[in-house]
């Protein structure tokens, strides 16, 4: 039985939401996921990735180094934190059926991608990963997520899809949690919903590999982020949501 966070999330579904299979979303090709930070891949696309790794394969591109989640820690300076978050992401991919070879780490500065003068290399990295994997679909964060790195990742994904013909799907993370009305700002989109089903346990295990983001590692930061239990529960128990812009 769904508890309160999952019930609230389910009640917010769009009126035209449709159930989708992994094959329908990926076209039977490897899934290509663009994550703004280490953990977004597991929260937004964990079931999709687990199913894809069990089939045609998958690849994750992580935009940032994750080094701004805990600021001012004397025991975890930014470089050490970034290295930890990369290891957590690799561990999460292992839980989903992949490995370190299924990761492209772009390593841009966390929380500062909107100040990076030239994002061309990041765009090139997405296009190269699509070419190398044979992906037909790209999964990237929603432009409505209220974080600069999510917004930049969404912009890069739109450019990559235009340049390659990839089918583009957007997955909500923070807008799904904070803003029940965010769908109204997406324009004309189709909402696809993937039931985690047999991949739910793998997705949950992947989310829980991100120990630093669960408040389990760093205790002495001046500014610290931690996912709340209710936030984690919503993504563990609810469907994965992917929006596709309808043709004009």
Residue with tokens 């999709």: 48
- In the predicted structure, residue 116 carries a pLDDT above the cut 80: yes
Is 77 exposed, middle or buried (CB count within 10 Å of its CB: 0-12, 13-18, 19+)? exposed
**Which has more pLDDT, 194 or 10?**
194
Residue 29 belongs to a domain:
no
pLDDT digit string, tens, across residues 127-164: 999 999 999 999 999 999 999 999 999 999 999 999 99
Residue 196 belongs to a domain:
yes
Total domains in the chain come to: 1
Query: Cα(176)–Cα(198) distance, rounded to whole angstroms?
Result: 23
Residue 51 belongs to a domain:
yes
Q: Which helix (H) or strand (E) holds 233?
A: helix 229-237
Q: Which helix (H) or strand (E) holds 240?
A: strand 240-245
Residue 80 belongs to a domain:
yes
Query: For the CA atoms of the chain, what is the radius of gyration?
Result: 17
Beta bridge partners of 171: 141
- In the predicted structure, residue 77 carries a pLDDT above the cut 50: yes
Which DSSP string do the residues of 122-189 spell out, in sequence order? HHHHHHHHHHHHT-SEEEEE-TTSSSHHHHHHHHHHHHHHHHH--EEEEE-SHHHHH-TTGGGGS-SE
- Report the pLDDT value the prediction gives residue 8, as an integer from 0 to 100: 58
Residue 60 belongs to a domain:
yes
The DSSP output letter for 118 is -
Residue 238 belongs to a domain:
yes
pLDDT digit string, tens, across residues 22-58: 999 999 999 999 999 999 999 999 999 999 999 999 9
CA distances from 110 to 71, 150, 183, 199 (A): 11, 10, 26, 29
**Which has more pLDDT, 141 or 114?**
141
Query: Cα(167)–Cα(159) distance, rounded to whole angstroms?
Result: 12
Residue 89 belongs to a domain:
yes
Residue 66 belongs to a domain:
yes
Q: What is the CATH number of the domain that holds 154?
A: 3.40.50.10320
pTM to 2 decimals? 0.95
pLDDT digit string, tens, across residues 206-235: 999 999 999 999 999 999 999 999 999 999
Domain containing residue 63: 34-109+121-245
Number of CB atoms found within 10 A of residue 247's CB? 5
């Amino acid at each position: 039985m769904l508890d309160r966070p999952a019930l609230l999330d389910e009640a917010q579904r769009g009126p035209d939401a449709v159930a989708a299979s992994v094959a329908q979303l990926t076209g039977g090709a490897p899934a290509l996921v663009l994550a703004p930070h280490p953990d977004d891949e597991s929260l937004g696309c964990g079931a999709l990735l687990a199913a894809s790794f069990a089939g045609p394969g998958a690849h994750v591109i992580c935009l940032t180094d994750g080094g701004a989640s805990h600021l001012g820690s004397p025991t975890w300076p930014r470089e050490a934190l970034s290295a930890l978050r990369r290891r957590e992401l690799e561990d999460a991919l292992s839980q989903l059926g992949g490995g370190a070879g299924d990761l492209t780490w772009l390593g841009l500065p966390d929380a500062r991608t909107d100040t990076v003068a030239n994002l061309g290399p990041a765009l090139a990295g997405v296009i190269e990963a699509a070419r190398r994997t044979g992906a037909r679909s790209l999964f990237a964060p929603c432009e409505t997520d209220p974080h600069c790195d999510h917004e930049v990742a969404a912009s890069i994904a739109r450019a990559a899809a235009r340049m390659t013909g990839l089918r583009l799907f957007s997955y909500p993370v923070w807008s799904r949690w904070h803003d029940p009305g965010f769908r109204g700002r997406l324009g004309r989109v189709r909402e696809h919903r993937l039931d985690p089903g047999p991949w739910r346990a793998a997705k949950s295990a992947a989310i829980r590999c991100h120990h630093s983001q669960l408040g389990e590692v760093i205790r002495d930061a001046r500014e610290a982020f931690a996912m709340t239990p209710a936030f984690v529960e919503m993504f563990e128990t609810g469907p994965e949501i992917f929006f596709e812009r309808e043709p004009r």
